[in-house]
Structures are given as structure tokens and as C-alpha cells.
């Protein structure tokens, strides 16, 4: 009997007993000291249950996060999932029409029967804005939430009864630190079953480990996930027995942030030719804008749009036997296959090569782009590609000339938000009419992988274009501190939206970026990503009279230059997890949209605006002295936040230019400010600016190197200060360290005549 492991890596620590002593620290919510190191904004990390069956009514509650006060609304990416907040009972003698107080974070959900199964997004709305999104799954099978899961292998929780209706079920639960959950499942000869332990794909911290035992307690198979991967095992139809399923976190962690969904579903074929290869044959983009695609990695922004939009019918799957002759292709083409096993890991019987070879005939002087897509599809692979050209000598001997060799693409972004692709892309002009050979290999030599990673290979004419990725930036001076958080824009407040540009096929033009969908009283100056840059930041600013509002915004970009402009809408992104809990990196993914909430209940203590520096007075005219009774003159009220009109400064390389900073101080903002430059053009420097507690303005000098490249650039500054601020749900003001973004400014560098 064969039990197939899918989407997993073998557990090299499988011999450890569960009784092993493990020291674990689990933090559910951020401590008040850390949480209050900025203006309070809601952060959502878990909702329970995290799934529901289509056509069902269930109760859910917010179980983990930060600033979870007065949550009275859940907002789903699809309106066919409706949430009604639960309320406390009303006293018997209460007046007619009286309603009970809300039960913060507790709701009744109605899921429409016609809602397609898939991953949707949910956000919580409360006193501190709208939260970051979390995955909510709609299933065609019953969803089971046991009050407790057995942690005894001899008395597992039985789940057979829940499979009676549809043949499948989804068990939702959370891991307990240093413990294992056990479930009992009966299989029969009528239908093969696939058991999947979803965690990473549903925004859980859990690194899932899945083990399958027979009735004698013997381990039949073991699979575990990894960062970005979840395990799955298949029980063939020939099995007619009972099985025990053991579920745990590979690092023995637990708590509300370590939730999982044990998904059991009947399948048509228990032994497909390539389980992992099925991902290479799926549609990459979501069929519905309200759902998340199976491909939600940030690296999706690095895939050419023709590959993203390709339907499975347009992809030719090729099964390549070890030692096969090169496959002949005719461009343009899009094919898919499994990777050959790296020889250094575990050669297959008769295997003599660790690469696949393809050949095509190229025209002299014609440009081609050849692209391998694998890691960007979520495959556990690190592809490498080389291209050689055949030359036939007069004596009919063959000589192969190296044309190109490529591994990883350049990283766009930083530790917080980045597009990092391990897939190779090569563009070249054919130097001669000849046969060209492409070699594709996987240099990830992990011999313990029980699956065969797959890839797509595209040969096409290059089309210069770009894609954009946008996310609301976490308010901190250090991007490495980024973590999941929501949005709340107070009156006079500003939030930065980071925009990354992935340039493809030689696209080098500048890109102007702006925001659609902002309400009256909220604005953002358009910014430019220069030809030698890959990032800019939009500053969304609310006036001091902005009305309350909630909605999605759209970030759009347009190329600048000759010819028809290219346009792109940014892919929304979100932070799934910050570093911590034994993971030293920030996890991000794509989202269905970018949401912003404007509140009219509070005004920010401070706003920072960049303006043009006023002209200096003539040298022969001394500055006016302050009147003798200046100290007795009442301070003028702070100016209302100005609309985000464009500010453009012009200068030449090798010169210096100054711009002014205007600070609007309101109640609670009476300390010094330090402003640090952001998104400075290459070759332009600026020192940090300190503004004293009794000052509200300053001047920043930009030093422009002689070799700075001419062009239009956008920059801004991030202020760090302390304020006294009273959160809306508290009675006393608190001292907070906050980070305040300035408005943006354009810097145009013109060529020296």
C-alpha cells in the first residue's frame, strides 16, 4: 500500500518523542509598552473559526491581535459573507426598542450557499480603525470545531461522522505548545482521500507536521510543511482501515496564532503523475477579485503578464524521461514539466543528467526572452538556466558557444517588503541564425523532498513593461520592525503607502504613481519612480476637517516618456507576520485590496509638511526683530493641514538645494522632532534634521553629487517624536513615541549644459 506525501519535506527529527522537554514562550498580544509606542491601530492575528461551509450560519469571534477595542463589524472581501455583531441580553423591564450592548469581536455569520469554495479575506473594524486582512476559508464540506482535540494517541478524536454528507470535512483547531492533537479517521476501498494540514496558506504561524498511523500505532507516513508550504498525504482507495492522524507544530509552539485546518476530501486520482506539477498548470490569477488566488506570494509581481494570464489550456505539459534528447520547441511557446532530480541528492535509476534540455531555432538579430517560472508559483525550487548556440563547422563538427547563464533575479525592496525571485529570466539578441539549446536545472539539492517540483518555461519576444506592488508602510523608523497592522487616519494625520516597481524586459522609463478612490478631504501627492529607482512612497493625508470614511484605494502607475504610456494597477500587499516566534523574517503576501479608514473623532497631535524654502532677505536688509512684548503675544493656532498639492524643486548635479519643513503642533506635541530622509535619489544626501521643542519649522539641505543622474525624483521625511495622546477608549493621556511622515516633494535634476 502506498501512502503519498505531498507539498512537504521529510521530518529529519521524526524520532523525537512528544515527551521531549521543550521551552516555549508564546505571545498572543503585543505588550502595552510596545503597543503604545505609536498611535493605536487595530491589529488582527486570529479569528475563530477560520472557516465555514457554504450555506451555513456560524458564530465566530476575534481571538488574537492588538487594540481590539469595541469591534462591532467584520468586513469580508465578498459581500455574500455577512456578519452580524452579537449583543448582550436586554433586561426584561427594558423599554421597547432597547438593544443590548455589543459583544465586542463576536459575530454571527451567514455564508451564502452559492459562494464558491476558496480563500476569502476578513477584516475587523473597531475603535482603532480597520484591521489588516486575515484568510477566511469557505468550504464545500462541513466545518467542524471540536471543543477540544484529544492529545492521547490511544483515544483520538473521532471525525468519521462529519464525512457522511459530502465525503469530506474540515476540522478547525489550534495547536497546543509541546503537545500533539490526535484524530481518528476510517477509510474504505470506494474512494481515495487526501488529508491536508492547512496553516501557512491560512495566515497561521504554524509550521504544520502531519503523521499517519495504523491501528497498531505504526507510523505509515510523515510529512511536514515549511515556511510557505503545508503538508498533505494521500490514502489510496485500496486501504480499508482506521487511521490515526497526528497534528502538531514542527517547532512545538502553540496558542491562538497557531491555528490550523485539517482538510479531508475525496479525490478522483490518488496517484497523479505529479502532485506538485498541478500547480504549474493552474491559473495564476484569481478568477474572482473577492478571492485570494492560490498564488499569493509577493513574487507574483515579478511574473510577466502573459504568463500570469495564461490559461491551463495554453500550457503544454511535457513528461521528460531521464536521458531524453533535447525537446524541440517553436517560439512563442509555454511548456511545463517536473524538474529532474539533482544528481548530488538522489539520482534516479538510469539518470545521467540533472537538467532538461530544449532547443529552438532563432533568427539572427531577433530578440528573445526566455523565462523559467517555478519558485514564484510556490514550488520548493531554485532553478538555473543556461543558453548555448550551435555552430556547425565546414567539416560538420559542432561547436557550442555560451550565450547566457542566469540564476536569481535582483531583489526589489527590503527586509519588510520585497520582491525576491529565484527564477531565471534571460533576454538576448540572437547573434546568428542557429539552433539554441536551453538547459534547465534545479540547484536546490534537498534530497529529502518527497515531491517533484515543477516549472513553466516561456520563450517569447520581449515586451518592456512593469508591475507594481503596494502596501501601507508600518509606522516605524526600522522597516525590520514591520508586522501586521491595520489603518486609521485621524484628522490632520498622514500614512505612507510603499510602492515597489518590478521592471521587465528592459523597461527603464520613469513611472508616475498616484491613488484613485480617495474621498473629499483626503489627498496624496503623485510621486515618481525614476528610471534608476524601483520604489517610491505615496503619503496619504487627511485634512483637519475630513469626514469619517472607510473604503478601498487603488494605486496606479503610468510610464513617462515617448510613445504610448504603459499603465498598471498595483497589486495590494499585506504583512502576514513580523519576525519573532522563532522566525527571523517578515512574512508578506498579496491581498484583495488596500483599505483605509478616516476617523473624525480624533485629530493627530502633529503634522509635517514640506514646502518651498522662502527666499532669503537681501544681504543689505537685516531681519526684523521680534517685538518686545512677543512673549506675551498669544500663540497662533496651528495651520490647518494643507491639501496635498505637488511641490517640485529643480536643481542641477553638483549643487545644493534647500527645502523648508513646517510642523503643525497641536495639543500634546511639545517635544523635539528628528526628521530622517526617505527615498533620496542616488547621489543625493541629506542629514537628519532636529527641530527643537519650541520650534515649528526648519530647513533641510539636499546635497547633490556631480554624477547624480538627471530625472524627476520623489522624496519625503519620517519624523520621530514624543507626544502626549489619549486613546479614544482610555481616560488618561499616555506618553507615546510616534513616527510621523511628512508630505512628499519632487526633485527635478536637470542636465548641466
The pLDDT tens digits for 479-521 are 999 999 999 999 999 999 999 999 999 999 999 999 999 999 9
Structure confidence by residue, pLDDT tens digits, 634-672 = 444 445 555 557 899 999 999 999 999 999 999 999 999
Instruction: Please write the tens of the pLDDT for every residue from 172-225.
Output: 999 999 999 999 998 876 788 999 999 999 999 999 999 999 989 999 999 999
C-alpha cell at 426: 534571460
Q: What is the pLDDT, as a whole number, of residue 641?
A: 53
CA distance 108 to 60: 6
CATH of domain 279-344+353-463: 2.60.120.380
Q: Are the C-beta atoms of 559 and 565 separated by less than 8 Å?
A: yes
**What confidence category does residue 592 fall into, taking pLDDT thresholds of 50, 70 and 90?**
very high
State the pLDDT at residue 588: 96
Which pLDDT score is estimated for 28? 42
The pLDDT value given to residue 308 = 78
Residue 450: what pLDDT? 53
With cell 542641477, the residue in question is 652
| Residue 371 or 21, more confident | 371
**pTM greater than the 0.95 cutoff:** no
Q: Which H or E run includes 554?
A: strand 549-559
Q: State pLDDT tens for residues 92-136.
A: 888 888 899 999 999 999 999 999 999 999 999 999 999 999 999
Cα–Cα distance measured from residue 601 to residue 491, given in angstroms and rounded to the nearest whole number: 8
Average pLDDT value for residue range 548-558: 98
What does the block give as the cell for 52?
Answer: 465555514
C-alpha cell at 473: 508602510
Q: Exposed e or buried b for every residue in 203-232, given b needs 16+ CB within 10 A?
A: bbbbbbbbbbbeeeeeebbbbbbeeebbbb
Pairing, β 434-442 against β 355-362: antiparallel
Q: 263 vs 5, which has greater pLDDT? A: 263
Give the pLDDT score at 311: 82
Right CATH for 32-139 from 1.20.120.350, 2.60.40.10, 2.102.10.10, 1.10.3720.10 = 2.60.40.10
Q: Which pLDDT tens digit goes with each residue over 686-707?
A: 999 999 999 999 999 999 999 9
- pLDDT at position 29, please? 44
> What is the maximum span of the chain, computed from C-alpha positions, in angstroms?
106
Asked if the domains 32-139 and 279-344+353-463 are classified in one and the same CATH topology, the answer is: no
Show me where the domains of the chain are located. Answer: 4-24+142-272, 32-139, 279-344+353-463, 466-621+636-749
> Do 401 and 391 meet the contact criterion of CB atoms below 8 Å apart?
yes
Given this model, what pLDDT does residue 5 score? 60
Banded pLDDT at 624 (limits 50, 70, 90)? low
Residue bearing the bigger pLDDT, 348 or 543: 543
d(C-alpha 165, C-alpha 307), whole Å? 39
* Structure confidence at residue 7 (pLDDT): 45
Give the distance from CA 381 to its chain's centroid.
20
| Distance separating alpha carbons of residues 52 and 44, to the nearest angstrom | 19
Q: What is the pLDDT of residue 333?
A: 95
User: Do 222 and 11 form a contact (C-beta atoms < 8 A)?
Assistant: yes
Q: If DSSP states are collapsed to H, E and C, what string results for 331-351?
A: CCEEEEEECCCCCCCCCCCCC
Q: Which residue has the higher pLDDT, 289 or 455?
A: 455
Q: How far apart are CA 500 and CA 506, in angstroms?
A: 17
Higher pLDDT, 470 or 291: 470
What is the second-level CATH architecture of the domain 4-24+142-272?
Sandwich (2.60)
Phi-psi region of 225 (alpha: psi -120 to 50; beta: other; left: phi over 0): beta
Amino acid at each position: 500500500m502506498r501512502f503519498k506525501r505531498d507539498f512537504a519535506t521529510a521530518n529529519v527529527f521524526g524520532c523525537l518523542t512528544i515527551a521531549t522537554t521543550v521551552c516555549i514562550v508564546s505571545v498572543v498580544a503585543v505588550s502595552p509598552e510596545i503597543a503604545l509606542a505609536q498611535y493605536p491601530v487595530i491589529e488582527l492575528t486570529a479569528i475563530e473559526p477560520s472557516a465555514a461551509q457554504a450555506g451555513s450560519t456560524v458564530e465566530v469571534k476575534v481571538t488574537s491581535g492588538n487594540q481590539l477595542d469595541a469591534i462591532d463589524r467584520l468586513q469580508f472581501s465578498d459581500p455574500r459573507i455577512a456578519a452580524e455583531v452579537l449583543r448582550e441580553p436586554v433586561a426584561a423591564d427594558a423599554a421597547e426598542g432597547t438593544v443590548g450592548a455589543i459583544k465586542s469581536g463576536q459575530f454571527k455569520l451567514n455564508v451564502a450557499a452559492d459562494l464558491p469554495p476558496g480563500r476569502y479575506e476578513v477584516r475587523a473594524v473597531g475603535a482603532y480603525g480597520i484591521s489588516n486582512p486575515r484568510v477566511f476559508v469557505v468550504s464545500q464540506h462541513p466545518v467542524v470545531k471540536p471543543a477540544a482535540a484529544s492529545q492521547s494517541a490511544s483515544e483520538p478524536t473521532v471525525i468519521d461522522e462529519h464525512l457522511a454528507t459530502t465525503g469530506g470535512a474540515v476540522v478547525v483547531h489550534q495547536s497546543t505548545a509541546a503537545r500533539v492533537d490526535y484524530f481518528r479517521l476510517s477509510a474504505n476501498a470506494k474512494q481515495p482521500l487526501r488529508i491536508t494540514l492547512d496553516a501557512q496558506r491560512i495566515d497561521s504561524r504554524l509550521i504544520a507536521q502531519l503523521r499517519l498511523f495504523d491501528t497498531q500505532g505504526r507510523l505509515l507516513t510523515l510529512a511536514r510543511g515549511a515556511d510557505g508550504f503545508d503538508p498533505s498525504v494521500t490514502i489510496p482507495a485500496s486501504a480499508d482501515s482506521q487511521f490515526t492522524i497526528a497534528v502538531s507544530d514542527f517547532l512545538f509552539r502553540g496558542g491562538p496564532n497557531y491555528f490550523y485546518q485539517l482538510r479531508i476530501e475525496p479525490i478522483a486520482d490518488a496517484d497523479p503523475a505529479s502532485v506538485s506539477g498541478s500547480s504549474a498548470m493552474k491559473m495564476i490569477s484569481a478568477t474572482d477579485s473577492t478571492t485570494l488566488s492560490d498564488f499569493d506570494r509577493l513574487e507574483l509581481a515579478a511574473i510577466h503578464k502573459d504568463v500570469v494570464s495564461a490559461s491551463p489550456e495554453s500550457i503544454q505539459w511535457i513528461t521528460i524521461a531521464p536521458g531524453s534528447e533535447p525537446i524541440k520547441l517553436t517560439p512563442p511557446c509555454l511548456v511545463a514539466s517536473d524538474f529532474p532530480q539533482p544528481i548530488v541528492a538522489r539520482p534516479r535509476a538510469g539518470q545521467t543528467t540533472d537538467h532538461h534540455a530544449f532547443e529552438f531555432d532563432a533568427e539572427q538579430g531577433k530578440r528573445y526572452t526566455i523565462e523559467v517560472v517555478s519558485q514564484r508559483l510556490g514550488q520548493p525550487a531554485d532553478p538555473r538556466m543556461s543558453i548555448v548556440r550551435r555552430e556547425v563547422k565546414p567539416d560538420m563538427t559542432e561547436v557550442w558557444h555560451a550565450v547566457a547563464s542566469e540564476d536569481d533575479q535582483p531583489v526589489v525592496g527590503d527586509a519588510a517588503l520585497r520582491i525576491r525571485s529565484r527564477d531565471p529570466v534571460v533576454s538576448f539578441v540572437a547573434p546568428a541564425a542557429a539552433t539554441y539549446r536551453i538547459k534547465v536545472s534545479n540547484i536546490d539539492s534537498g534530497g529529502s523532498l518527497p515531491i517533484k517540483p515543477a516549472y513553466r518555461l516561456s520563450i517569447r519576444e520581449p515586451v518592456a513593461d512593469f508591475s507594481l506592488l503596494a502596501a501601507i508602510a508600518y509606522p516605524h523608523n526600522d522597516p525590520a520592525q514591520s508586522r501586521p497592522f491595520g489603518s486609521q487616519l485621524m484628522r490632520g494625520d498622514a500614512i505612507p503607502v510603499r510602492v515597489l516597481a518590478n521592471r521587465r524586459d528592459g523597461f527603464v522609463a520613469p513611472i508616475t504613481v498616484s491613488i484613485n478612490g480617495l474621498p473629499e478631504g483626503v489627498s496624496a501627492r503623485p510621486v515618481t519612480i525614476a528610471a534608476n529607482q524601483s520604489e517610491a512612497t505615496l503619503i496619504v493625508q487627511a485634512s483637519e476637517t475630513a469626514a469619517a470614511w472607510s473604503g478601498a484605494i487603488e494605486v496606479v502607475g503610468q510610464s513617462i516618456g515617448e510613445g504610448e504610456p504603459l499603465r498598471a494597477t498595483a497589486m495590494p500587499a499585506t504583512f502576514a507576520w513580523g519576525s519573532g516566534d522563532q522566525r527571523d523574517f517578515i512574512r508578506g503576501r498579496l491581498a484583495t485590496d488596500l483599505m483605509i479608514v478616516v476617523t473624525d473623532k480624533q485629530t493627530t497631535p502633529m503634522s509635517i509638511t514640506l514646502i518651498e524654502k522662502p527666499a532669503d532677505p537681501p544681504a543689505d536688509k537685516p531681519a526684523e526683530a521680534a517685538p518686545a512684548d512677543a512673549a506675551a503675544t498669544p500663540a497662533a493656532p496651528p495651520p490647518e493641514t494643507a491639501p496635498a498639492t505637488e511641490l517640485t524643486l529643480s536643481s542641477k548635479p553638483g549643487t545644493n538645494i534647500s527645502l523648508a519643513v513646517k510642523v503643525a503642533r497641536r495639543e500634546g506635541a511639545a517635544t523635539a522632532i528628528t526628521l530622517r530622509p526617505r527615498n533620496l535619489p542616488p547621489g543625493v544626501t541629506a542629514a537628519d534634521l532636529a527641530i527643537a521643542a519650541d520650534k515649528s519649522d526648519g530647513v533641510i539641505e539636499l546635497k547633490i553629487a556631480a554624477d547624480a543622474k538627471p530625472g524627476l525624483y520623489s522624496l519625503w521625511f519620517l519624523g520621530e517624536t514624543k507626544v502626549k495622546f489619549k486613546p479614544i477608549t482610555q481616560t488618561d493621556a499616555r506618553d507615546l513615541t510616534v513616527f510621523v511622515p511628512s508630505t512628499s516633494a519632487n526633485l527635478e535634476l536637470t542636465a548641466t549644459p
